[in-house]
Chains A and B, each alone.
Chain A
Amino acid sequence: MALRELSSLEKYLELKKPNKYSTQGDKKVPVLQSNNGAPQVGLVTIACYLVKEAKRSELLGNSAESRAVVQQWLEYRVTRLNGCAKDDVKTILKELNLYLQDITYLAGKQFTLADILMYYGIHPLIVDLTVLEKEQHVNVTRWFDHIQHYPGIRRHLPPVAVLRNRIYTSGH
């Protein structure tokens, strides 16, 4: 899972040489064995490394504030979304839905690595939502649809149909 994400990210970043990854532990934490020095461990760590390699550090935020926001959502991704229990799904969707109410991307107006990894991570949750649930989380759905159509992002994941017309006007 994490390895496919990283390989999709590499393609998006147009990195020429694909890296070799392995995993460690029960949780299959990704490991990047680089030529120059110690291995990089962890999805966020490796993703940030790839972004820097591709000289696309704007994807990590272009101010101290936005960098903090990006790091926070990357952490949210790996701590809350990875292996989340069924009960957590609703909470996560609710929180993101509220957060995304008046912003376009996780870091506000700017597309960042946080959007990419959050999209990869939340995809299995969104796939399972009913039409009604998607509508109950209209901001997440809108953000998700936007990211999945963001050029070069979707890669290994199937598209999720998002209806533009509401079926249910309210929860029932």
Chain B
Amino acid sequence: MASNGQIRLFVSEGNPQCLKVLAALEETGVQCGVQCVNHEERVVPFLSRPALPALLLPSGLHIFSSNAICQYLFEVKGQESNQLCNQWLEWEATELQPALLQALHMAVVQGKSSDVFNILQASLNYLDQGLSKQSLPYLTGEAISVADVVLSAALYPFLSDSSLALGEYKSLKAWFDHVAARHSFQSAAQKVLQGKGLQGMKSYMQRQPLPQSSVCRDSQPTNNGTPAECDEGERMVSEEEMEAAALTWCKGLNSSPLVKERQHPILPQEDKKNILVTSALPYVNNVPHLGNIIGCVLSADVFSRYGRLRGWNLLYVCGTDEYGTATENKAREEGLTPQQICDKYHAVHASIYKWFQIDFDFFGRTTTEKQTEIAQDIFWRLNKHGFLVEDTVEQLRCESCQRFLADRFVEGICPFCNYAEARGDQCDKCGRLINAVELREPQCKVCRQTPNIRSSKHLFLDLPKLETQLEQWLDKSTSTGDWTANAKQITRSWLRDGLKPRCITRDLHWGTPVPHPDFKEKVFYVWFDAPIGYLSITANYTDQWQKWWKNPHQVELYNFMAKDNVPFHSVVFPCSLLGAQDNYTLVNHLVATEYLNYEDTKFSKSRGVGVFGDMAKDTGIPSDVWRFYLLYVRPEGQDSAFSWADMALKNNSELLNNLGNFINRAGMFVTRFFEGCVPAMELLQEDKKLLAMVSWELQQYIQLMDKVRIRDGLKHILNISRHGNQYIQVNEPWKKIKGGETDRQRAGTVTGVSVNIACLLSVMLSPYMPTVSQTIRDQLNAPQSCISTMFQGTGTFVCSLSAGHRIGTVSPLFQKLEVDQIEALKKRFGGQQPEDEPPKKKMTAQNAASSPPAAVPTTAAPAAEVATANGADPEKAKLLTQAVTEQGDKVRTLKGQKAEKAVITAEVAKLLDLKKQLAVAEGKSLEPAAPQKSKKK
């Protein structure tokens, strides 16, 4: 929309607002191109409704307020509007216009001219008084001003029409006649109304939204609705649905067997849905943070609890992953043996999960005899079938420490820039990647001795040889099972890049020993070893573990994890099992979450940022509330963030005001009005409609939960209590109970239906908030059989607390989280202190261009810092695009060269960081901060 340095005014016929601007234009004589367009023409690009008149300024800006346009025209002519002028204009916009619109609608659209005077009376009064107080010809003085033009033009359609008797408004009449007689008005009126008077505006007015009466405009509350309520408009409920829901309701509890107490060991059974659930084994040497908890154990727990209630024969196993370099290092740090470290942290993990009410059937560990036995068996089978290959790798070995040095335990002089303290994987100064054996004067970081280069033979799993088999299996599994989109996509990208042999042995002590005589002193690489932990942990649970793990026909396997773990579960581990050829149960449903960030940064143990599993209980916030919030923000489909303020908000709005409020009210009505006994219920159409809505939500919930859409399932629970609250609010049982017989009966029905919905809610909540769920059923004295009944089939909402049922003592379920409490917690867990970090080097466009991508100062810059730059920078984006391409090539090359995992990981991190910077430079909204690390396998 080039305006060629000229002002352009867009108007439409029959539009009363255009009368103002055309009159002002005539009056001021400002040079301006006038274009008459259709009413529906959207001249101002950012407004939702077409807005005319509109002025396009030479700068390209649009003015869409007719008053501002008039003010501008007068100012261009040299008449800036004064205070009094402003006041009249504000009055016109806020008081007169709403009344005028309503009056026009009455007169033009509805043809009720008689009502016009009543609508306008107050405004006319006000204007008349304003004029008569000052005996001046115009509103603001001796000369005509923008206020006179705007107001008289606004009133022109009515005041020029003789049918409106101005009678006693003498000052008003005199003023209007004076102004309207001006040539400018005559000419503008002719253009807009075409001599048709009010009827000239008919086609325009018919397209305008119905004006709200000024009274209801003001009494409207601003957006009190809860978000979910706004999101989903009223769903239409059909008669059939209502009847079906009422029919189901009457069925009552069935006498089908209750969900049985679990009897260990749980084993697959004929004719049962046998479900095996695992969550990624948390690495033992650290305390898990909230991201780890929601990513695997908590998600798997909710699903397992749900499955058990659905009557599935389900086993949920997990345990700590204990072998590897990291444990050895931690042991050295703490002056303990690796075994002692594992014992210590295994207990820490177990107690955290216990506090979070993670209901494992068995929580084991990987450092067991069974692990060795099973891992070695798989190893020999792979060996026998020719899926292992040998290769030599050069590594640094410290003779005084008697071990091969992991990259981060070597320091030396950078071969590129001579920096003295380059690390084994990368130089901090020039940023280049280094192969540890290339360092000049390398030193062992522990003892400062010089390590030697030693070549060491290693075994590799021949993934390329297994690729065809793997793809066949993947096609089947991903098409029949519920794989999350990210799991499928990550897997596809691994296969697309082609599989390379993967080293499965390491020169370490703390691991499962490689049984091959040529590879004594070596242990299995943790990625090979750890997933076997699922099998060995099950074996420690029951001797009959093979009934679960070598039984793909009877068992469905669900793996829960965060997305960084996907390739190990979808590609690498299945290859091990396929190659071992022993009829293993392979994953059917791979459920991967995205990442959970902490406030606007990532969880960091070293910086003390974020809430870690062991601290959650010290906050005084109940475990169930933690579970609720983590599940509410479960990174399902996209990354999400933990935020204290949001947690308080969700607790106070959803749990306290919505869910808790409804359940408590329902119970309290029974207690107060009906002596604690559920009253008789006579269902009216309205009640049936509610039953249908609740049933629909329940069915949605069941469908989603079957597909492991845990976060989405929770929304439907909250929808039900919202429906319930609305139902109570509309029916007001607390008033009806004081009324006559019919009213009292109505109060009874509403109370009875509500308390039954509360019972349903307790069942649906059970997987999410087990303690609260049980508390509700205790308070309602609900029969346990309600659980199995309601979770039957596609979801069955029945009347489980029938008339006469005596409920228990009702008390509030949730507590408010106060602002100061949350602020204190936020402070304590450091969500606001990332600026304590030393300032990071900022990347400039120059160095991105002139040096190889690895030289871009690295990763750790927190996303928050980057995010402050909100402007796009095309030049920088171009350079970064190039850097991203180069870094991408580098990562691919490294992968191709079978480089160390740590090296690849570091390069990938750099790549991600570059991509993030690129996104910023391109002005895209920022993707979440670098992922929190859950464990790698």
* Residues A71 and B65 in contact, CB atoms below 8 Å apart: yes
User: A14 within 8 Å of B by Cβ?
Assistant: no
> In the complex the two chains form, what is the Cα distance from A71 to B93 in whole Å?
12
Report whether A161 and B86 are in contact in the complex, using a CB–CB cutoff of 8 Å.
no
B335 at the interface (CB under 8 A from A): no
A27–B126 CA distance with the chains assembled, in angstroms: 15
Contact present for A82 and B926 (CB under 8 Å): no
Partner of A69, one of B63, B222, B637, B646: B63
Which 7 residue pairs spanning A and B have beta carbons closest together? A68-B72, A130-B227, A98-B46, A72-B68, A42-B90, A99-B46, A72-B65
B643 near A75: Cβ-Cβ < 8 Å = no
B86: A residues at CB distance < 8 A:
42, 44-45, 48
Please tell me if B59 contacts chain A, counting CB pairs below 8 Å: yes
Expressed in whole angstroms, the Cα–Cα distance for A52 and B75 within the complex equals 17
- State which of A5-13, A15-23, A87-95 sits at the interface with chain B: A87-95
Closest approach, in angstroms, between the C-beta of A129 and any C-beta of chain B?
A: 7
Contacts of B641 in A (CB 8 A): 163, 165, 167
B496 interface residue per 8 A CB criterion: no
B222 touches A89 (CB 8 A): yes
CA–CA, A137 to B285, complex, Å? Answer: 42
| Chain A residues within 8 Å of B45, by CB | 98
User: Can you list 28 residue pairs at the A/B interface with Cβ under 8 Å?
Assistant: A43-B90, A64-B72, A65-B58, A68-B55, A68-B68, A68-B69, A68-B71, A69-B61, A71-B71, A75-B68, A75-B89, A75-B93, A79-B93, A82-B94, A83-B219, A84-B222, A86-B220, A89-B223, A95-B48, A163-B599, A163-B641, A163-B643, A164-B864, A164-B867, A165-B927, A166-B925, A167-B633, A169-B638
Q: Hey, which chain B residues are within 8 Å of A166, CB to CB?
A: 638-639, 925-928
State the CA gap A84–B76 with chains docked (Å).
Answer: 33
A76 within 8 A of B: yes
Give bound CA distance, A38 to B218, whole Å. 27
Find out whether the CB atom of B67 lies under 8 angstroms from the CB atom of A75: yes
User: Which residues of A have CB within 8 Å of B220?
Assistant: 83-86
Given contacts A99-B46, A167-B640, A168-B638, whether A49 and B83 have CB atoms under 8 Å apart is yes
Nearest-Cβ distance from residue A110 to partner chain B, whole angstroms: 12
B69 contacts which chain A residues (CB < 8 A)?
68
Q: Is the CB of B48 within 8 A of A91?
A: yes
- Among residues of B, the one whose C-beta sits closest to the C-beta of A79 is B93
> Is A138 interfacial (CB 8 A cutoff)?
yes
B348 at the interface (CB under 8 A from A): no
Which residues from chain B contact A164 at a C-beta distance below 8 Å?
A: 600, 863-864, 867, 926
B64 CB–A CB distance under 8 Å: yes
Alpha-carbon distance between A133 and B229 when the two chains are bound, in angstroms: 13
* Residues from chain A with Cβ under 8 Å of B640 in the complex: 167-168
User: Count of B residues near A, CB < 8 Å?
Assistant: 65
CB pair A42–B46 under 8 Å, yes or no, is: no
Q: In this complex, what residue of B is CB-closest to A26?
A: B218
- Taking A65-B72, A128-B224 as given, write out 4 further A-B residue pairs in contact, using a Cβ cutoff of 8 Å, ordered by the A residue number: A41-B87, A68-B75, A165-B927, A167-B928
**B59 A65 Cβ-Cβ under 8 A:** yes
Complex CA gap A82/B220 in Å reads: 10
- Is B212 on the interface with A (CB-CB < 8 A)? yes
Closest Cβ–Cβ distance, residue A116 to chain B (whole Å): 16
37-67 of chain A: CB within 8 A of chain B: 38, 40-45, 48-49, 52, 64-65, 67
Q: A68-B69, A72-B68, A99-B46 are contacts. A86–B225 as well, Cβ < 8 Å?
A: yes
Q: Are B223 and A78 in contact (CB under 8 A)?
A: no
Chain A residues in 8 Å Cβ range of B266: none
CA A76 to CA B71, docked complex, whole Å: 15
* Partner among A52, A76, A82, A132 whose Cβ is within 8 Å of the Cβ of B227: A132
| Contact bitstring B43-80, A, C-beta under 8 A = 1, else 0 | 00111110000010111010111011101100110001
Given contacts A78-B90, A165-B929, A167-B640, contact A85 B61 (CB under 8 A): no
**Contact string against A for B residues 515-534, beta-carbon threshold 8 Å, 1 for contact and 0 otherwise:** 00000000000000000000
With A42-B94, A166-B925, A166-B928 as given contacts, are A72 and B63 in contact (CB-CB < 8 Å)? yes
Q: Which residues of chain A come closer than 8 Å to B117, judged between CB atoms?
A: none
Q: In the assembly, what is the distance between CA of A94 and CA of B49, in Å? A: 11
Expressed in whole angstroms, the Cα–Cα distance for A125 and B870 within the complex equals: 23
Docked Cα-Cα span, A29 to B94, in Å, equals 10
- Is there contact, CB below 8 Å, between A78 and B93? yes
A40/B87 in contact, CB under 8 A = yes
- Encode A108-152 as 1/0 by CB contact (under 8 A) with B: 100000000000000011001111110100100010000000000
Beta-carbon nearest neighbor of B75 in chain A: A64
Q: Give the residues in chain B near A27, CB-CB below 8 Å.
A: 94, 218
User: Could you tell me if B222 and A125 are in contact, using CB atoms closer than 8 angstroms?
Assistant: yes
B645 part of interface (Cβ distance < 8 Å): yes
Q: How far does the alpha carbon of A105 sit from the alpha carbon of B89 in the complex, in Å?
A: 24
Q: Which of B68, B220, B225 has the most CB of A within 10 A?
A: B68
Instruction: List B residues 853-898 near A (Cβ within 8 Å).
Output: 863-864, 867, 870
With an 8 A cutoff between CB atoms, is B217 at the interface?
A: yes
CB of B96 to closest CB in A, whole Å: 11
A52, B86: Cα distance in complex, Å: 13
Contact: A85 with B926, CB < 8 Å? no
Residue interface mask B197-236, A partner, CB < 8 A = 1: 0000000000000001001011111111101001000000
The reply to whether the CB of A156 lies closer than 8 angstroms to some CB of chain B is: no
Shortest CB–CB separation between residue A163 and chain B, in angstroms?
A: 6
Q: Which residues of A contact B416 (CB under 8 A)?
A: none
Cβ of B91: which chain A residues have Cβ within 8 Å of it?
Answer: 41-42
In the bound complex, residues from chain A placing their C-beta under 8 Å from that of B58 are: 65
B68 touches A71 (CB 8 A): yes
A168 to B47 Cα, complex, angstroms: 25
State A172–B636 Cα separation when bound (angstroms): 12
CB-defined contacts of B633 to chain A, threshold 8 Å = 167
Indicate whether B97 reaches chain A with its CB closer than 8 angstroms: yes
Is B597 part of the binding interface, using a Cβ–Cβ cutoff of 8 Å?
A: yes
Bound-state CA distance A169–B927 (Å) is 8
Is B93 a contact of A167 with CB atoms below 8 Å?
A: no
CB neighbours (8 Å) of B75 from chain A are 64, 67-68
A4 to chain B, nearest CB (A): 16
Q: Which of A64, A79, A167 has the most CB of B within 10 A?
A: A167
Name which residue of chain B comes closest to A78, CB basis: B94
Shortest beta-carbon distance from A33 to chain B in Å = 14
Bound Cα distance from A131 to B64, whole angstroms: 31
The complex places the Cα of A169 from the Cα of B93 at a distance, in Å, of 39
From A45, A52, A72, A83, give the contact of B64 (CB < 8 A): A72
Q: Are B925 and A138 in contact (CB under 8 A)?
A: yes
* B492 vs chain A, min Cβ distance (A): 19
Say whether, besides A48-B86, A95-B47, A172 and B637 are in contact (CB < 8 Å).
yes
CA distance A132 to B307 in the complex (A): 30
Instruction: Give Cα A162–Cα B71 distance, bound, in whole angstroms.
Output: 37
Report how far A86 CA is from B233 CA in the complex, Å.
13
> A124 near B222 (CB under 8 angstroms)?
yes
A64 and B76: CB pair below 8 A? yes
* Minimum C-beta distance from A146 to chain B (A): 9
- Of residues A44, A83, A94, A98, which shows the largest number of chain B Cβ atoms within 10 Å of its Cβ? A83
